[in-house]
């Protein structure tokens, strides 16, 4: 009889310990997706790209690429981006804009222009993944001026070779619409990546304002 009582007592203590363990597990907070901590909000400058297809909202990484962020904000304030088209769209890759040449009807020089004094490369460990905003350039690492692109895929082959300086926080559905526009070749470049003139994607205005945002994802740090 005593042996049976001991076994029941040990079993009861085991159940109690298990219950306590389950309570402890339940108390552990669940990490937000991609490492975001929704409770730690910050107030930051954002850029609202008002396009004819909807708004795209960008946040910036001044700790990663301070000169590129300042360059973008200066050009936006000067109205350089008002009226430019998305002149290069490649499904699974990116959408590119920021060339003042695209404000006219001559498609042959789209992608060959720029504005501002230019900015030297600020390559980092920040990955090029869906939603990341990065600066276009020519073969020279320090040749970036005003053209930039938004990744719609995960082009990791660009990592450490192009200066990523921000990310989309709203409007990736708009970016997806833009990247799927009908397109054809432009000039003699041969790449079928230029949206047809009958349905262009245009940045009508860039507005800069401050917003409360959740903490940046873990990956979005240099």
Predicted confidence (pLDDT) per residue in 11-43, tens digit:
444 434 434 333 333 333 333 345 554 457 899
User: How does residue 3 score in pLDDT terms, banded at 50, 70 and 90?
Assistant: very low
- Kindly state the DSSP code that residue 219 receives in the 8-state scheme: T
Give residue-wise pLDDT tens across range 68-91: 999 999 999 999 999 999 999 999
Please count the other Cβ atoms lying within 10 Å of the Cβ belonging to residue 133. Answer: 25
Which residues are CB-neighbours of 167 under 8 A, at least 6 positions away? 58, 59, 61, 131, 132, 133, 220
Query: Which pTM was predicted?
Result: 0.81
CA torsion through residues 12, 17, 18, 24, sign: positive
Query: How would you label 32-70 residue by residue, b for 16+ Cβ within 10 Å and e otherwise?
Result: eeeebeeeeeeeeebbbbebebeebbbbbbeebbebbbe
């Amino acid at each position: 009889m005593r042996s049976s009582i001991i076994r029941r007592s040990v079993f009861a203590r085991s159940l109690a310990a298990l219950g306590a363990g389950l309570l402890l597990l339940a108390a552990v907070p669940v990490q937000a997706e991609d490492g975001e901590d929704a409770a730690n909000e910050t107030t930051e400058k954002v850029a609202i790209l008002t396009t004819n297809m909807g708004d795209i909202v960008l946040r910036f990484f001044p700790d990663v690429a301070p000169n590129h962020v300042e360059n973008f904000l200066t050009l936006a304030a000067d109205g350089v981006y008002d009226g430019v088209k998305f002149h290069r769209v490649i499904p699974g890759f990116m959408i590119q804009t920021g060339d003042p040449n695209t404000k006219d009807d001559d498609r042959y020089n789209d992608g060959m222009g720029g504005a501002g004094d230019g900015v030297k490369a600020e390559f980092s460990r920040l990955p090029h993944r869906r939603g990341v905003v990065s600066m276009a350039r020519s073969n020279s690492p320090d040749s970036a001026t005003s053209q930039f692109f938004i990744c719609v895929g995960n082009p990791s082959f660009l990592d450490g070779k192009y200066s990523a300086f921000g990310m989309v926080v709203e409007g990736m559905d708009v970016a997806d619409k833009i990247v799927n526009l009908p397109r054809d070749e432009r000039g003699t470049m041969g790449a079928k990546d230029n949206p047809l003139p009958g349905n262009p994607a245009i940045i009508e205005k860039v507005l800069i304002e401050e917003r409360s945002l959740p903490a940046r994802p873990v990956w979005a740090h240099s």
